[in-house]
Structure formats: C-alpha cells, structure tokens
Amino acid sequence: MFVIPVIDIKDGKCVRVVQGLSDKTEFYSDSPKNIAKLFRKENFKCIHITDMDGAIHGDMKNFELIKEIAMSVDIPIQLGGGIRNYDIAKKILIDLGVYRIVIGTAALTDPDFIKRILDDFSSSKIVICIDEKLNNVVIDGWINYANITPLDFAKQMEAIGIKRVIYQDVTRVGNLSGPHIPRLLEIAANTKMKITSAGGISNYCDLKKIIDIEHLGIDSVMISRALYENQFPCQRIWRDMESKDVSLELPEV
C-alpha cells in the first residue's frame, strides 16, 4: 500500500479543510514548503498538493509557491486544483516540475481537454479525481453537483483512456470518519482502473481496511489530517512497509 501525504494550500498557507467548508478551515503552517520537506524527511516517496484557491476560483494563484516546493524535494509531486484548460496543464507539467496532474471539474465540463492531455503526455501524467457527496459527483471545489454518479463518471473516464482515479467522499474529508469502502469496491468491481483512496483516514485501522482490498486495484491512499495530528507515526508506517519488502515507487497508472 502506497501512502501519499497531502498538502492543501490556501492563501499561501498549509491548511485543513473539513468537507470543503471555508468556515471550517484550520491552519497548520505558514510554510507548505517546510511541510513538504518534513514529509520527505519522514521518508515519504510522493506528495500530493491541492491548490484550494485554484479548486474554488479556477486559477493557479499559488503557482510560484508550488514551483518552490517541487524544487525543494527530490520526490514526485502530484498536483490538483484549478487545472481546467490545456495551457495550464501544459505549463504545470513542463515548467513546474510536477510529475502528474489531478483533474476533477474539467473532466466533466471539457472531456476533449482530457483527451488532449492523454494524447500529448500519456496516461501516466494525469489522474482523475472523483469527489462524491450523496452518490453524486461534486465539482467547482465541491460547491456544485454534476448530476452524475461516481461510478458512471469513472466509466466515462475509463472509456476515454484514463488509467487511474482518486476517489473521495467529501463528507468524510478532514473529519477522520473513515473511507467509503462500499463505493471503492463498486468502482473497483466495475472498472479496470487503479484507484487511490482519499478522505477520512483516521488511523492504522482505517489504513488496514484499504490494505485488505488492495488486491482489487485500490493500491494507494492519500492522508492529510491524521498525519498532521499524529494519529500514527509516519516512520512506523514506512518501517512496517519496508520490512515487508513492498515497492516504494510511485504507483504506475
């Protein structure tokens, strides 16, 4: 099981957003760059960054900061938030030093954009994020409903060539309520894509639930609050994984 720590950036700071609600945003650090270095020191092999300003407003307000982070660590950076057209995606992949991009809203509003990324950069450079609330995909920073189920969205993306999705139930994000196992199983059973589980992981017991279904293609997990609040020591996770001779390379798509 590949564990990916998450850095959410809002107004240039590292924060935690609960269920996408701005009034429940909690501050962690003035320096997302220092947090990235800490995660690298803790031996993580990849970092996910979400540009929360970009996700809500559709622009790359934190571009220069994210570039600094990418240059400050020697591990792959996965970036999502506000990537809604080809020019932005190309600039990120070529100029920013990001390994791959995560697309949510634009995958529904402009599927031709997704196809162009696939044609020009390959499936290894793009992941689709499926954000769910009440069995309905939400977009625009989790503000609006897209009137499509997570499974139907996953099938649409698989049909155009996407090989990996990130799935999260946004009602679980930031509140340590556990992953949505039934939905993960539903997507895994009805597609051949690799799946990264995000949102809700609170401790090792939750992580173990994902490990138990890893054989179905759910091969990685993104964790935020539980790491920041020391729900389990990072080094203990990695020592346990490395003792089992688990590959620590970024999962292929």
State the catalytic residues.
8, 131
CA 22 to chain centre: 19
Cβ-based neighbours of 170, under 8 Å, separated by 6 or more: 19, 20, 131, 132, 133, 138, 142, 199
Tokens standing for residue 227:
């790491």
Question: If you compute the radius of gyration of the chain from its CA atoms, what whole number of angstroms results?
Answer: 16
Euclidean distance between CA atoms 138 and 250, whole angstroms: 27
The 10 Å Cβ neighbour count of residue 229 is: 11
In degrees rounded to 5, what are phi and psi of residue 154?
-60, -45
